[in-house]
Structure 1
C-alpha cells in the first residue's frame, strides 16, 4: 500500500518540486498540497494522509501551530518538519507538539524519500545537527540518576538511541538484542515514565529526566 503524503508549504515552487521528487518513488503518493497550516488542517477532514511534510515558517498558520492542531485532532498523523539551520526557536516547540521528524531543506531528494518511509514505520527522525541543537537548548544533565526512574541500563541506552533518531532495527543491532525485545523494552519505558510515544521519550532523555513536556 502506498504511503499517502501531504505537502504543506507557502512556496508554490517548493510544493511542486517536492511533489515531483516524491513521484519518482512508486511507494509514495502525494494526495494533497496545502499552502499553510490552516489549509492543511481543513483538508485533512476529507483526505486520508499518512505522512505530512510541513514547512516550519508559513503565513496564516505556521508549522509549529499546525502540528499542534493536527496532532490534537489526528494523533496518528506523522508530521515531518522542514526546517533550516536558523529555526532554533521553533524546533523544540514543534517536537513538543508531536512532530515525528525534522528535515533540513537542503537535503538530497533520496533523503526526503527515505525520511518519509522511516517516519511512516513509526520511528522518530532527527537530523544530527537538530539533535545537537536540542541538547544545547535543553541543557541536558549528563549526571542524571536514571535508576531514580527504575530504568535499566539497556532501557537508558534505548532512550539515548531513540533521541538520536535510530529505528528499532538499528537499535537492536547496536545493543545486540532482537527487534522484538527492543519493542517490548520501549513499551516498558513508556509505562514506567507514563509517556505517550517515542517523541516524548526523546524529549525526556534530552531534558535529563525532566517530564515537563
Structure 2
C-alpha cells in the first residue's frame, strides 16, 4: 500500500507493547498509532485512530479477550486483527478465527516473521503459526462444514479458492488470472458467503483441510461441478 500501515498494539504488558513499538517503528512502511492496555482502551483507540492492523493479545480482557473481536469489526469492518499471544490453546484459536481474526501468531515468533506477517495480512494474506495451522487442518471451522453437501462453486471460484489456499493475495491472484483486483474481491466474497466462512484465514484452512481429505481418499462434493 502507498501509505504507512497504521498499527494499534493491544497488550496488557507494558514491556511487550514497548518492544513491539520499537521493533515495528523501525520499518519504513509501518506506523504505531497507539497502544492499549485494556479491552476498553482498545475499542476506544481503534474507533479514534482507525488503524489498519490491531495486534491483539486476548489477555487484555478479564475473560478470553475474544469477545472484543466482533466489537472491533462492527465499528471498523476493514480492520485486520492479528492475535499475538503466548496462549497456544486450540479452543481459543478456533474461537478467534470464528470471530474474525485475520491470523493467530505466538510470541515465540521471530521478529522478522512478525513483520512479514503484518505485511502479508495487509496484502490479504492469512498468517498462522505453523503449529497452529497444522492442528486447524483437522478442526471443522463452522458447523455447516460438517455436512457433505456444500454449495457448488463455479470454476473461477474454485480456482481462486485454491490460490487463497496457496497464500496468494488478491493482487497476486489478479495478476495470475489476468483479471482486476475488484473482480477477485467479488469472487472471494462470493466464496466466503457460499461456504459460510468469515474471512480468508478460514478459507485457507478450509481448502487445506479439503486437500488433506482428498489425499486420504475422500472427495468433497462441493468442489465438483
TMscore range, shorter length: 0.7 to 0.9
User: Structure 1 residues 136 and 187 mapped into 2: Cα distance closer, same or farther (>3 Å)?
Assistant: closer
Q: Which residue of 2 aligns with 1:91?
A: 93
User: Structure 1 residues 81 and 163 mapped into 2: Cα distance closer, same or farther (>3 Å)?
Assistant: farther
**Gapped runs of 5+ residues in structure 2?**
211-219, 221-225
Identify the range of structure 1 (76-85 vs 1-10) with the bigger mean alpha-carbon deviation: 76-85
Identify the range of structure 1 (107-116 vs 13-22) with the bigger mean alpha-carbon deviation: 107-116
Q: Which residue of 2 aligns with 1:168?
A: 170
Shift of 1:160: 4.4
- Do structure 1's residue 178 and structure 2's residue 197 form an aligned pair? no
2:113 to 111, 117, 135: 111
For this pair of structures, how many residues does the alignment match? 205
Shift of 1:17: 0.6
Matches within 5 A, 1:151-162: 151-152=153-154, 155-162=157-164
- Aligned-residue CA RMSD (Å): 3.4
Shift of 1:57: 2.7
Q: Which residue of 1 aligns with 2:9?
A: 7
Q: Is the 8 A contact 1:3 1:51 kept in 2?
A: yes
Q: Which residue of 2 aligns with 1:32?
A: 34
Q: Is the 8 A contact 2:8 2:46 kept in 1?
A: no
With the length of structure 2 as denominator, give the TM-score of the two structures: 0.73
Summarize deviations over 1:95-153 as a string: whole Å, max 9, x none: 111111122211121211121122123333233322222222228989956xx522145
Query: For 2:74, what is the secondary structure of its paired residue?
Result: helix
Identify the range of structure 1 (119-128 vs 102-111) with the bigger mean alpha-carbon deviation: 119-128
Q: Is the 8 A contact 2:137 2:205 kept in 1?
A: no
Within 2, Cα distance between the matches of 1:52 and 1:154? 32
1:54 to 53, 56, 59: 56
**Gapped runs of 5+ residues in structure 1?**
none
Shift of 1:79: 0.5
User: Structure 1 residues 132 and 27 mapped into 2: Cα distance closer, same or farther (>3 Å)?
Assistant: same
